Amino acid sequence: MKYNRDIHHRRSIRLQGYDYSQPGAYFITLCIDKRECLLGDIQEQTVILSRYGEVVDFNWFNLTKIYPSIQLDSFVIMPNHIHGIIILTDYSHNLSEIIRGLKTFSARRINQLRSLSGISIWQRGYYEHIIRNETTLTKIQEYILNNPYNWQKDEMHPSQKFPISQKFNIKLNDNSTLPMNLSSQL
């Protein structure tokens, strides 16, 4: 069923009143539509990218050319989602604009490779967490780097049957949310 604003009342997980264009570090997660393992595979705890995963990899690192006021930190492409840290160095761009660019550029190219047009690649929206201190930054960097090692137990693994929406309700002491699997490590 397609999204209908009158029927589906989507609740934003964004921090109310927060300016997402202000300088800072942001942990982001983007998921492939329907959790399809489109971006690659994990073999012996190593990510093996598909050609679609290579497109996402290229577009991630190309973000600094399109948005020169950002820096990229830790990043991993998993079979059906990506995790990364984006650092905004000034007020030039809003985080959602940067994410929209990444999703648009990569989806357009993936659909070209698939000889398809207008097919959703990414789930609507994205997950983000405002990184407020060095301790949290270090823990999130470790989480990102260790993600391939934990793939079989990952909530995004195809063997996990519960809805993704259930994982976005953990409150932290800084009034933001993290997925269950990350919040247990912070």
Whole-number pLDDT of residue 22:
83
CATH of domain 24-183: 3.30.70.1290
Is residue 8 exposed (0-12), middle (13-18) or buried (19+ Cβ within 10 Å)? Answer: exposed
Whole-number pLDDT of residue 7:
56
Whole-number pLDDT of residue 59:
98
Spans of the chain below 50 pLDDT: 8-12, 162-186
141 CB-side CA count, 13 A: 12
Residue that has been written with the tokens 């990952």 in this structure = 154
Question: pTM score, two decimals?
Answer: 0.78
Whole-number pLDDT of residue 74:
97
Whole-number pLDDT of residue 3:
53
C-alpha separations of 59 from 33, 63, 65, 88 in Å:
18, 6, 10, 17
How far apart CA 122 and CA 27 sit, in angstroms, is: 17
Helix/strand/coil for 33: helix
Name the residue ranges covered by the structural domains of the chain: 24-183
Per-residue pLDDT tens over the stretch 6-43: 554 444 455 566 667 789 999 999 999 999 999 999 99
Whole-number pLDDT of residue 155:
85
